[in-house]
Each structure stands twice: as C-alpha cells, then as structure tokens.
Structure 1
C-alpha cells in the first residue's frame, strides 16, 4: 500500500515521537527542516507523469534529449554528435542518452517498440519512419512537428511532418525502469527470439532466422526474404554458378564467413546474417546491401548504386517484395 508523501511524513513523525526525538515541524507554518525533507522526498517521488525514476524516461524526456542536438551538422553515417549525425544516428543517440538501446539503421528502428495507428495518435518521443522501404526517421515532438537530421548540407532541426509516416513506433510506453534497463521489451519485434508474433510463423527455418538475426543485429525477416528468393528455403539447392545451400553462398564466400558446410541450414543462415550485417554497415542502405549480396560489394561501388545487371536489377525488388510480404 502506498502512503504518499504526506503519509510518509506523518509516519516519520510518529516514529520520532515514539523514540523520544524532536518531532519535525513539517506540518507547522514557517517550518524549514520538514519542508526540506518534504521537498526532497517530492523530488525523489516525481510528479507522477512518467518522468520519475520508478516509471523510467518519458516521451518528454526524449524530446528534451533530442533538442540538445539541434544545430548538429548532418553527416551521412554519422554517429558521433561532435562530428555529425544522420537521421538514424540522431534517434539512436537520443535514446542511448536515456539508457535505451536502439538498432543503428532506420529500417531496424522502424520495427522497435510497438506501432502507433496514426499521427493523430502519436505522442512526443515517438519515432516517425518514412518511405517504403524505410529510408528516414525522426522524433515526433507534437503539434505536427518533429526533430530530424534531414539531409547532407543540413543540420538537426525542428521541421513539420511533411508527409504521412510509413510507420510510427512508440519506444517508451510508461514501462517500469527495470524493463527499460533490461531492454527486452524495446528490442525490434523481429529480434525477440520467439516465432510467435515475430511475423515468421509458418516460415521454414524461422527459428534459425530469429537466432541469427538476434546474434548479428540483422532483421530476421530480411534473412527469410533472402532465403526465399535465393532457394525457396531449400537447404540442398545448388545454382549453375556453384552457389550452395539455402542462402546460396559461393564456396569462397562461405569459407570467408566461417561456414564449413553451406548445406547446413544453421551455418548458412548464420553466415548470411554475418554477411548482410557487414553490407548494411558498409552501404547504409537496404537496397544496396541486397544488391551487394547478389552482385558483390565491388560492383555496387563501381556503379555507385544497384549494378545494371538484369539479374541484380530483378533480384532487389524480389527480395523487397518478399520482405514486405513478411511485414518487414
């Protein structure tokens, strides 16, 4: 049973009186020591609006943390506020300041927390994600405004929500501080380790996609989409070019990823997750990472985008459609 501040003060006074101590003048007009104690206790208790230690950080805390970075230069791939931030770097940094870990990429952040139905239902601190596939994220501050790191040559600033978000995610939902500390309720939905509710129910080898995704920080749905397009989830598949297994790894690529047997589904999925993690970090774009998985990173660099190979040009949208079908 909670006594409240007044009840606590009253109980303290009773105990002091029973022990023969001088009762604090908390209830007396003009008192000082009692007032100080009440003030300190009230500060410790918080205003009861989701800002107290017991309730963890609130959406207002998120907005306040984001405002600290206003004016920070936009730097593509930037994660250091002293040098510059990109859109997902800003969102990740703001939540990290509050003790909440979010994934690095915008498309991963667009699966964190829980969905919010519409902008009309959004609250300050929610993450707004734009594009399909997601290519931009921002922090909602209310009144149709958001804080974002918009583009090269610009800086972190407040701007209007210029288009309908593809998705809105509530990372903080008045969860207890303990839940924030262990982060389990804030991981991207696809990384929580349970097939049920992950969007992969009924997908072959779903448990392997979840396991490898959690291990390497890659969306399990992306792994499943690649497997579907590469082999139709067939662990014995062999391509005319010699790519092997469910994830269609070439022998040399498999060896470099530490995959001894690409026909072993668990090894293959783990190797593919490791590979995609590196490609996503290198290109900071899901379509380019998917293209590099098919054609190689060198080709993507050479052509400055998706290579003009008919196979790769068709491959990227196939994977994106498979990913969308999984809710990714």
Structure 2
C-alpha cells in the first residue's frame, strides 16, 4: 500500500487521499467517447491498482453512461466495498429507462432526488454512498429544497456526506446553512482557475468545506500528449469543447510547450507538474484515467514537492486566464 497522504475533506469527518480517481472516462458520456475508447477489464484493473496505491477515493456520477459508470464501479468494488470511498452525483434528469433528457435538464426536486439515490445505490451495489453531490444546481428549485432532501438521505443512512458541484458563492452559503457541506467539486487546473477569481475557493476555506478539483490536467491538454486535433477520435467529446476548437488550440498548445520546458527542467512529465501544482494549492484532485500506467504516473505526482520558485515559474508561464476558450 502506498503512503500517499490522506487529508480531511472538509470538517465533517471524511478522510480521503489527497488524490482520488476520476472514473468518468471508463464508460461513454451520453453516447460520446471520453478521451479514447475504454476497456472494462483494464478500467477495473485500474480501480484495483488505485486501491493498492492508497488512491481509494473514486468519483463517478449517474450521468456517466448514463448509469453505466456507476455499474462498472459497483462491479469493481464488489467484495471490497469497505476499502473504498465512493462519491457519485445526481442532477441531470435520467428517466426510468436510463435515458438522459435530450435537453440536459437539471432536476433538483426532492422527489427526483429520492429516486436518484435509490437508483445509484442499486447501480453501485451498495447500501450507502460516502459523498453524494448535486451535479449542478436546478435553476427552478431553491437550493434549500434540494439540500433539504439530500439531508434526509443522510438521516436515513443512505449517504454519509454531502457536496455540490459547479455552484456559485451565494448558493454555497445558502446550502451550507441547511446542512453542512463536506465538499465542493469544480474544475481546477493551470488552464482553469475560475474558482480563485469568483471567490469559491476562498469561501470553502472560510466555511471549512473541502474542495475537489476535477480535470486537473485540462482534459488531457496539460499532459503534452496532444499535438494535433487529428489525434482525437472522431467520437471524442473534446471535439465539441471550446479549448479544443481550431481557433483556440494553437494558442493553448503554446502554453503547454512552456509547461513542458518547466517539466523537463525538473525531470518530470508535464502531467505530473500540472497535477503537483493543483495539489500545492491545498485541494484534493481527482485526475481521471482508465489505464494503470497513467494512474501510477499520477500517484507519483502526489510526492512531487514544488518550491516557491517552481510555483512562481508556473504562474509566469501560465498566468490566470491565459488559456483560450471557455471550459464548456
């Protein structure tokens, strides 16, 4: 077992490794390939290897697949459930046949939340979920109503801790007043530092809420492994994302080249340097992968110490707002 550091996520009692495993890429996403085609056997082997390395914090969602990702995670942890900390999310409306709403409707109504949790428990083949997030806030339902329903799940023993994903400061304050939040999950990387500008990161520290950064490698861009859009599979969902559009791609590639230069100087990969930067901000990162070799490389980044000079060089080379194109 690795000696990867564990930390308190928030102030409600949840302990997790400083680095978790994002499982989204292990299945399709609304019919689209996530980064590259997945292999179930290799994905499950990656989850098992993650536990051996101390990375037993798994992140999934009912949206991924839809539902297929939770089922894969449930299959992977069977017989070892108590050795994993599982986070999943609800919010995107999925019907009883497992079909995602064509308009990507967010449903935060209490009756839907009660249905969603029972479906996730069944998919994950477990009787409790460690950390249950609302994937996005429902603009038509007061956050107090949604979090109130989530709080009932804690009282019922179906959920241990609560979180929200991609929410503004005021929503966090209102939600936290209803039931103490354990985590806020938002995109965070050298390419996306919006939570520093909009006050979310500062607020989580102020309120004792944990912060979980997803896509810490800029959806693969910061690995330095993508030099041309032609390298992406035809069905890769990144082809629809602003940062990967031709008018932005060349600009962002220049930023990655600067990262590569700094990584070479430290004797590490660009991905490891980018991930170490996120961890140096005092947050938990959940890099996603479905391959053991990338998992092991990511875990090595957790042991990479960055000096004040390293951090200043990264700030100078990839300053806030330097990436071209929005995240979505």
- TM-score category by the smaller chain? under 0.3
Normalization by structure 1: what TM-score? 0.28
- Greater relative CO (CA pairs within 8 A, separation 6+): 2
Normalization by structure 2: what TM-score? 0.28
Q: Max radius of gyration: which structure?
A: 1
